[in-house]
């Protein structure tokens, strides 16, 4: 019987000898076995049959599945019969697709009661000789996924890192879901997690991998020395098993590949479609109070007066510190004695309201009628507490909600509905889905909420409760995976401070986050830009925002260097707020950009936004050839006085930095917004008959002069450094 599975797509071929459990992804050739593939063209190697750690008879044991046969069916489906030695049997159902391979269903039947400690893809038993070469005499197995390097979007910071050579990480665990330092991995705050995916590869291509459903265990990428595995942590020795004799996983792993790490992840995410873009109603700009609140500035009247004169936006987010305690959804009247009047003032000044909510923390369970049985507890039955850093030292620890409890679910739903009905906010900004210990410390009592399903389940409770009170409300979160569409509407590039504590780190971090945000834009999510804690980065952030989506501002009155918002920034902010793209769902156009590799981190210099306008076409946009999409926005970066040219929108020639935005195709739109970010010049090779120049005044754009096209020398827009204080931009009609 043929035990070798071969599948080719996108110029790469996967060959998997299931009997030996040896797989290799290589640049395509006509060879049929892993041993025949040219090593110089290899992208990735490793095993694909599952392995298990489980507790039985009071001891931890490792079991590697072995294939005993393959049954083929129609349409590329097949089933591998597994033996688990003396521990049981199983089956692994597989589908091949144009994009790659889907491990559709894994079933294991234990011959005796077993409690799962972990499930792994990409480990194997060590030989006696190999065991003599490990750093621990206790090692009996080891990860065996191997490639030139790794891609885990924005997994490192200071500055932001997404790519590593295989030997750069040593031994590490990288979070792919909502768990970070709690699992011994780097701090995993905010954007772009949960990813539920990563990639491995190098100069010949990349393999992306991840589950097709939100897993019931924390998901991490384990790296040891230069090899890795996908690891699902259970610790059922502490928490019990749903069924100690049988276990089924649906869609535990998908493998997709492409020429770059970005392409491979994009192909993997595309497998969850087709997608209906989110309503453009969710494409909202915001100001966030956190920049002031974190510095102890809580005067909301002064805040309203300051921002209303300089920074228009769709809404103001009342961030962490607005509540009586985290999780109450009630305003702190000791801190904000005129809270309702303050909210009315913001509304009178043209802002809608939004409120920050921690999805699973509470500081006062007694006040909410919650008992220990409603909270996450340790093996000793005592409620655990947690804080963002995971350190047991210091203060500001929070109790953790267990959605297994009916009372807990009721509290979450009631507080959400109460908040929405009372203040009628435009949005809720949800946070700290990563704010839980892993199963070494606690776990939900109901196995249905364990692992990555804990944060996801809490998000879903809040999402559904908010929508029941107001179907139009926008739910803001930061995970870019397509599965997050069910619990969020607007992706926020929060918190840019995580990129590193400097303006330089924030600038490169935001630019890189824009790349990963485009993965979410491809499946139709609204995307909101964001700042960190340095005003010097705002210009570059807004320049990329022209393509990404809408403005977001977290900065306070003064930044970490004592600087304030500048006059040119006010002009640029107002122009982007008024002229931003209104739709959701787009694909990037790379002009002068790198999506990242083992040679360097992503850098987007000049790039654009491609969209489809027909409704049916928009829903199937990912399957549409880029040549049939319309170009609606451009971010253009130049160096000094040197002219650059791109043959897009009829042809664009420029010097300096510019953003171009249209509500139609740039090449023939009725009006094109041209926003200068530095001194320079711009020429568009398309017809127009007049130019209107605008300036920001009192949070609005005002036309200050109109020129006929004949009045422009060489049909060219020219802006000097001195005029950047007073020019918001131009409309070419």
Residues 6+ positions from 299 with CB-CB distance below 8 Å = none
Tokens linked to 103: 């491990």
Give the up-direction half-sphere exposure of residue 549: CA atoms within 13 A in the CB hemisphere.
Answer: 32
Domains 42-271 and 284-360+408-438+447-572 equal at CATH topology level: no
Q: Cα(245)–Cα(247) distance, rounded to whole angstroms?
A: 7
- The pLDDT tens digits for 307-347 are 998 999 999 999 999 999 999 999 999 999 999 999 999 99
Helix (H) or strand (E) holding 640: none
Q: Cα(359)–Cα(363) distance, rounded to whole angstroms?
A: 12
CB atoms within 10 A of CB 124: 20
- Could you tell me the fold of the domain covering 42-271? Beta-galactosidase; Chain A, domain 5 (2.70.98)
- The pLDDT tens digits for 220-248 are 999 999 999 999 999 999 999 999 999 99
Domain ranges of the chain: 42-271, 284-360+408-438+447-572, 603-732
Q: Are the beta carbons of 124 and 269 closer than 8 angstroms?
A: no
Averaged pLDDT score across all residues of the chain: 93
- Three-state SS at 368: helix
Q: Which residue has the tokens 């993997």?
A: 268
The predicted structure's pLDDT at residue 593 = 97
Q: 110-119, 359-368, 472-481: lowest mean pLDDT where? A: 110-119
Q: Cα(492)–Cα(721) distance, rounded to whole angstroms?
A: 32
Q: Cα(345)–Cα(600) distance, rounded to whole angstroms?
A: 48
Q: Which residue has the tokens 């002069």?
A: 705
Q: Cα(393)–Cα(674) distance, rounded to whole angstroms?
A: 52
Q: Cα(725)–Cα(567) distance, rounded to whole angstroms?
A: 5
Q: Cα(323)–Cα(631) distance, rounded to whole angstroms?
A: 44
Residues 6+ positions from 545 with CB-CB distance below 8 Å = 529, 551, 576, 580
CB atoms within 10 A of CB 472: 10
The answer to whether the Cα torsion of 98, 512, 158, 388 is positive or negative is negative
The predicted structure's pLDDT at residue 137 = 87
Q: Are the beta carbons of 448 and 405 closer than 8 angstroms?
A: no
Q: Look at strands 474-477 and 427-431 and give their pairing.
A: parallel
Residues 6+ positions from 225 with CB-CB distance below 8 Å = 167, 170, 171
Q: Are the beta carbons of 518 and 481 closer than 8 angstroms?
A: no
- The pLDDT tens digits for 581-613 are 999 999 999 999 999 999 999 999 999 999 987
* Nearest Cα residue to 429 out of 437, 438, 419: 419
Q: Are the beta carbons of 53 and 61 closer than 8 angstroms?
A: yes
The predicted structure's pLDDT at residue 581 = 95
The predicted structure's pLDDT at residue 1 = 55
Q: Which residues pair with 321 in a beta bridge?
A: none
Q: What SS3 string covers 81-112?
A: EEECHHHEEEEEEEEEECCEEEEEEEEEEECC
Q: Cα(42)–Cα(637) distance, rounded to whole angstroms?
A: 36
* Nearest Cα residue to 23 out of 55, 54, 47, 49: 47
> CA-based Rg of the chain, rounded to a whole angstrom?
27
Q: Are the beta carbons of 662 and 673 closer than 8 angstroms?
A: yes
Q: Where are the alpha helices (DSSP H) in 534-668?
A: 538-548, 567-579, 615-619
* Nearest Cα residue to 551 out of 504, 646, 565, 561: 565
Judged against a pLDDT cut of 60, whether residue 30 lies above it is answered with: no
Q: Are the beta carbons of 491 and 283 closer than 8 angstroms?
A: no
Rounded to 10°, the helix 300-308/339-348 angle is 10
Q: Are the beta carbons of 605 and 593 closer than 8 angstroms?
A: yes
* Nearest Cα residue to 172 out of 182, 180, 184, 160: 184
Helix, strand, coil shares of the chain, percent, nearest 5, are: 25, 35, 40
- The pLDDT tens digits for 422-444 are 999 999 999 999 889 999 999 99
* Nearest Cα residue to 220 out of 122, 126, 147: 122
Rounded to 10°, the helix 538-548/503-522 angle is 10
Count of helix runs (H) and strand runs (E) in the chain: 12, 45
Helix (H) or strand (E) holding 410: helix 406-423
Q: Percent of the chain beyond pLDDT 70? A: 94
What mean pLDDT is predicted for residues 496-506? 88
What mean pLDDT is predicted for residues 452-475? 98
The predicted structure's pLDDT at residue 640 = 81
The predicted structure's pLDDT at residue 494 = 80
- The pLDDT tens digits for 536-551 are 999 999 999 999 999 9
Q: Are the beta carbons of 81 and 88 closer than 8 angstroms?
A: no
- The pLDDT tens digits for 35-78 are 555 556 999 999 999 999 988 767 778 999 999 999 988 777 89
Q: Cα(515)–Cα(332) distance, rounded to whole angstroms?
A: 38
Q: Cα(442)–Cα(108) distance, rounded to whole angstroms?
A: 25
CATH level 2 (architecture), domain 284-360+408-438+447-572: Alpha-Beta Barrel (3.20)
Q: Is the preceding peptide bond at 159 cis, omega within 30 degrees of 0?
A: yes
Residue 563: what are its φ and ψ, rounded to 5°? -85, 160
Cα angle for residues 631, 635, 640 (degrees, 5° grid): 140
Q: Are the beta carbons of 127 and 104 closer than 8 angstroms?
A: no
- The pLDDT tens digits for 151-210 are 999 988 888 999 999 999 888 888 899 987 666 666 556 789 899 999 999 999 999 999
What mean pLDDT is predicted for residues 265-282? 95
What mean pLDDT is predicted for residues 243-272? 96
Q: Which residue has the tokens 């797989």?
A: 23
Q: Where are the beta strands (DSSP E) in 20-87?
A: 22-27, 42-46, 50-56, 59-64, 66-72, 77-83
Provide the terminal-to-terminal Cα distance of the chain, rounded to the nearest Å.
69
The answer to whether the Cα torsion of 684, 689, 695, 699 is positive or negative is negative
* Nearest Cα residue to 123 out of 196, 179, 37, 62: 62
The DSSP output letter for 467 is H
The predicted structure's pLDDT at residue 182 = 61
Q: Are the beta carbons of 671 and 730 closer than 8 angstroms?
A: no
Q: Residue 612 — left, alpha, or beta (φ > 0 → left; ψ -120 to 50 → alpha)? A: beta
Q: Which residues pair with 101 in a beta bridge?
A: 96, 255
The predicted structure's pLDDT at residue 704 = 96
The predicted structure's pLDDT at residue 185 = 60
Tokens linked to 602: 């992503």
* Nearest Cα residue to 360 out of 467, 437, 302: 437
- The pLDDT tens digits for 621-634 are 555 567 689 999 99
What mean pLDDT is predicted for residues 494-521? 91
In what side-by-side order are the strands of the sheet with 385-386? 361-362, 398-400, 385-386
């Amino acid at each position: 019987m043929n035990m070798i599975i071969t599948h080719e797509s996108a110029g790469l071929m996967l060959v998997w000898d299931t009997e030996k459990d040896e797989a290799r992804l290589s640049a395509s050739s006509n060879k049929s076995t892993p041993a025949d593939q040219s090593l110089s063209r290899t992208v990735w190697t490793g095993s694909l049959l599952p392995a298990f750690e489980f507790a039985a008879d009071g001891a931890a044991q490792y079991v590697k599945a072995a294939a005993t046969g393959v049954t083929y069916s129609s349409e590329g489906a097949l089933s591998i019969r597994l033996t688990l030695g003396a521990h049981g049997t199983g089956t692994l159902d597989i589908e091949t697709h144009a994009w790659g391979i889907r491990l559709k269903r894994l079933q294991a039947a234990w011959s005796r009661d077993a409690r799962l400690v972990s499930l792994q893809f990409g480990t194997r038993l060590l030989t006696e000789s190999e065991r003599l070469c490990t750093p621990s005499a206790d090692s009996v197995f080891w990860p065996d996924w191997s490639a030139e390097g790794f891609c885990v979007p924005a997994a490192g910071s200071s500055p932001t890192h997404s790519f590593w050579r295989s030997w750069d990480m040593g031994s590490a665990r990288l979070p792919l879901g909502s768990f970070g330092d709690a699992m011994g991995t780097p701090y995993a705050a905010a954007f772009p997690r949960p990813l539920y995916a990563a990639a491995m590869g190098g100069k010949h291509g990349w393999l992306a991998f991840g589950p097709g459903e939100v897993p019931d265990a924390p998901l991490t990428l384990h790296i040891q020395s230069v090899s890795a595995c996908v690891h699902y942590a259970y610790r059922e020795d502490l928490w019990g098993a749903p069924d100690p004799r049988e276990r089924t996983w649906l869609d535990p792993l998908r493998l997709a590949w492409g020429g770059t790490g970005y392409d491979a992840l994009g192909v993997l995410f595309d497998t969850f479609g087709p997608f209906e873009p989110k309503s453009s109603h969710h494409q909202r700009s915001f100001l966030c109070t956190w920049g002031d609140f974190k510095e102890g500035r809580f005067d909301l009247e002064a805040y309203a007066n300051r921002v209303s004169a300089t920074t228009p936006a769709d809404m103001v987010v009342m961030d962490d510190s607005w509540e009586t305690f985290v999780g109450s959804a009630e305003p702190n009247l000791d801190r904000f004695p005129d809270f309702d009047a303050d909210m009315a003032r913001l509304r009178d000044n043209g802002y809608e309201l939004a409120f920050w909510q921690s999805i699973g923390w509470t500081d006062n369970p007694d006040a909410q009628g919650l008992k220990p049985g409603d909270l996450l507890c340790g093996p000793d039955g005592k409620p655990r507490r947690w804080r963002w850093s995971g350190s047991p030292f210091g203060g500001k620890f929070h109790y953790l909600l267990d959605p297994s409890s009916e009372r807990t679910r009721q509290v979450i739903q009631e507080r959400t509905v109460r908040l929405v009905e009372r203040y009628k906010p435009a949005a809720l900004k949800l946070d700290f889905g990563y704010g839980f210990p892993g199963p070494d410390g606690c776990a939900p009592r109901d196995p249905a909420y364990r692992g990555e399903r804990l944060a996801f389940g809490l998000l879903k409770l809040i999402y559904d409760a908010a929508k029941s009170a107001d179907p139009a409300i926008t739910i803001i979160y930061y995970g870019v995976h397509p599965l997050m569409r069910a619990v969020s509407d607007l992706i926020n590039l929060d918190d840019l401070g995580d990129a590193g504590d400097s303006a330089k780190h924030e600038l490169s971090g935001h630019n890189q986050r824009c790349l990963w945000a485009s993965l979410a834009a491809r499946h139709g999510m609204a995307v909101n830009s964001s700042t960190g804690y340095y005003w010097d980065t705002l210009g570059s952030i807004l320049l990329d925002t022209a393509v990404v989506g809408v403005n977001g501002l977290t900065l306070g009155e003064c930044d970490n260097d004592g600087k304030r918002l500048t006059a040119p920034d006010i002009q640029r902010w107002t122009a982007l707020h008024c002229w931003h793209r209104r739709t959701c769902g787009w694909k990037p156009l790379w002009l002068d950009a790198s999506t990242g590799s083992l040679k360097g981190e992503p850098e987007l210099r000049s790039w654009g936004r491609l969209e489809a306008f027909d409704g049916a076409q928009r829903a199937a946009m990912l399957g549409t050839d880029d040549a049939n999409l319309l170009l609606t926005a451009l971010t253009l970066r130049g160096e000094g006085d040197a002219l650059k040219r791109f043959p897009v929108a009829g042809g664009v020639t420029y010097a300096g930095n510019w953003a171009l935005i249209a509500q139609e195709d740039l090449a023939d739109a009725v009006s094109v917004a041209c926003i200068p970010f530095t001194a320079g010049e711009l020429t568009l090779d398309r017809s127009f008959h007049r130019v209107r120049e605008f300036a920001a005044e009192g949070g609005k754009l005002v036309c200050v002069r109109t020129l006929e096209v004949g009045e422009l020398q060489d049909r060219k827009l020219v802006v000097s450094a001195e005029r950047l204080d007073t020019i918001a931009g131009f409309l070419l009609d």
